[in-house]
Amino acid sequence: MIAGGLTAGVFGSLLGLGGGVLIVPLLTLVFGLDLREAVGVSLVSVIMTSSVAAGVYLERHVADLRLGMRLELFTAIGALIGGSIAFLIEERLLALLFAGLLLYVAISMLRSRASEETQPETPPGEAPSYEVRNLPLGVVGATGAGVLSALLGVGGGIVKVPLMHLGMGVPLRVSTATSNLMVGITAAASAVIYVIHGEVDPYVAGPTAIGVFLGASIGSRVAHRIDLRILRFLFVAVLLYTAVQMLLKVAS
């Protein structure tokens, strides 16, 4: 279980994901946990990695604290809604939603690979100045991301990053950093609901969270030494395989 969390953590940090998309299938398909229990554990792990990453981004002034806090008010509201309805809807529907999310992530990863080859890398250093536009769109999108996060135990970066970057005119690096910041409070708002409902098992959450935490630290250190294209291809394959497994589970 520690090893599984470790793998999810390494993958997640290398690809800029919280790791939730890997933790939930790992716990349900490999360890046979109830989907809701897996989501609760995943939320805790996601908070941990996002807190450290957000801390580093804040120190380096890449994350936009003001924008992040304004949007996370709405992701938190979304999380409250999602966390509450998660206990009302059927587990098979949740699994179906999760499979849909996996497919969406896989497709958007394939597409981002295609666009990255044509675009030059953004130079490192201080974030460029920018004007935030389209705040109403951000509000709606953030609420949706919050619901998704709470229902499925993911950080929702895959929704929030394009939302801020493409929809609101925020630079990609700032979007990623700010998304990371928001994940913490979003997941915390729904994690408390899962804890109070008794869906978080400390014996599962402890080893998983430690694994993810260590994995994320390793991942961020070796990131520059790894060919991301191969990694991304592997990851897409894993996502597709997991989506099929989830669908089979729904069907049975």
Q: What is the radius of gyration, based on Cα positions, of the chain? A: 17
Cβ-contact 96, 250 below 8 angstroms: yes
- 197 forms part of the interface with another protein (CB under 8 A): yes
Query: Minimum Å distance from CB 195 to another protein?
Result: 6
- 250 forms part of the interface with another protein (CB under 8 A): no
Q: Which residues are within 8 A (CB) of 14 and not within 5 positions of it... i.e. 6 or more apart?
A: 219, 222, 223, 226, 228, 231
- 83 forms part of the interface with another protein (CB under 8 A): yes
Q: Which of 16, 51, 112, 172 binds another protein (CB under 8 A)?
A: 51
- Quick one: which of 36, 42, 38 has its CA closest to 85? 36
Complex with another protein: residue 62 or 106, whichever CB lies closer: 62
Cβ-contact 65, 58 below 8 angstroms: yes
Complex with another protein: residue 60 or 221, whichever CB lies closer: 60
Report the distance separating Cα 240 and Cα 4, nearest Å. 18
Complex with another protein: residue 168 or 205, whichever CB lies closer: 205
- 8 forms part of the interface with another protein (CB under 8 A): no
- Quick one: which of 172, 170, 237, 209 has its CA closest to 38? 209
The interface region with another protein, picked from 97-105, 134-142, 199-207, 219-227 by CB under 8 A, is 199-207
- 106 forms part of the interface with another protein (CB under 8 A): no
- 79 forms part of the interface with another protein (CB under 8 A): yes
Report the distance separating Cα 64 and Cα 58, nearest Å. 8
Local structure of 42: helix, strand or coil: helix
Instruction: State the residues that interact with another protein by CB under 8 A.
Output: 1-2, 31-32, 44, 47-48, 50-52, 54-61, 63-66, 69-70, 72-73, 76-77, 79-80, 83-84, 87, 184-185, 187-193, 195-198, 200-207, 209-210, 213
